[in-house]
Each structure stands twice: as C-alpha cells, then as structure tokens.
Structure 1
Amino acid sequence: MSRDVNPFGLRLPPELKEELERLAEQNRRSLNAELIVRLEESVQREGQTCITAEEIRQIVEQALAKAGKG
C-alpha cells in the first residue's frame, strides 16, 4: 500500500474492534489490512446478483469452524 494514503479515524464498538482484531490475527494481518480486505470484498460484492463458488466455500468453512467451536 502506498504511503500517500491519509490517516482516517474510525470509531468502532469495542466488541466489533476486538472481533476484527481476532480475525486479523487469525489471518496474519494487521487490523488496518484486515479492514481494507473486508471493505474491498464488500465493495466488489456490491451489485452482484448471485453467489460465487468461492463465497459458498467461505460460508461453508465459516459454518464448519463455528460448529467446531461450540
């Protein structure tokens, strides 16, 4: 990422920030990088009318991971 990006203050509920920090650590990214990846994915999905095979795979993996924790 370029160094000419201006800082952007963001207020998050503490619980959401903690969850994003946990996910960032799990994905071996900084909190900033995690937020960028998630925002980019969200923007890319905007306007899509169908779910992709990759999205199905991610949903299934997330569901299986959650099921294994419970």
Structure 2
Amino acid sequence: MSSKQQKPPYPLRMPDELKDQLKSAAQESGRSLNAEIVARLQESLAAPQEPRVELDEETEDYLLEKLLAKLVERRIMDRIEKEDGDESGE
C-alpha cells in the first residue's frame, strides 16, 4: 500500500470560483487538483516572507521621523509626569 493511500482525505471548503481556478491551473500543469493545491501551499510556505508593503526611501524616512518624534514626545511626557509626581510627594 502506498503512502498516498494511507493518508485519510482532508475535506477542504473553498469558494467555487477558487476551486475552478485551481482546477484550470491543475490541468495546465498536468497535475491533479490535490497535487496542485499541495504544490501551491508548499511553494508559498517555502518562499521567504517579505514585507507586505514596500515603501520608497522618502516615505520610509518620513515615517521613521514621525515615529521618532512620537517616541521622544512620550519620553518627555513621562519625565514631566514623573517630576510632577516627585514634587507632589515631597
């Protein structure tokens, strides 16, 4: 008995449109629907994970400046609150 026959089936629900697209892709690649799904899943998991959004350098610099300004602002506010707390405790 081959390893393919030993694995229990896994029912997978998906939209009909997606299933039709996968069937077409399977036919084009000469694979069964199952083999197409497995190949695509393996390919997506083997691919290096890249950032979801690519930013140009100018936008990235702008966002980093905004983030840094916000962090500095929070640190200053924390110090002010701490100093106010120290003064009221004297």
> Is the pair's TM-score, using the shorter chain for normalization, greater than 0.5?
yes
TM-score where L is the length of structure 1:
0.61
Q: Which has the higher helix share?
A: 2
Specify every segment of 5 or more residues in structure 2 that has no aligned partner in the other structure, as ranges. Answer: 51-90
- Name the structure, 1 or 2, with higher relative contact order (CA <8 Å, separation 6+): 1
The RMSD of aligned alpha carbons is 1.7
Query: Which residue of the partner structure matches residue 40 of structure 1?
Result: 42
Runs of 4+ in 1 over 4 A off after TM superposition: none
Query: Which residue of the partner structure matches residue 26 of structure 2?
Result: 24
TM-score where L is the length of structure 2:
0.48
Query: Which residue of the partner structure matches residue 12 of structure 2?
Result: 10
- Identity value in percent: 42
The number of residues matched between the two structures is 48
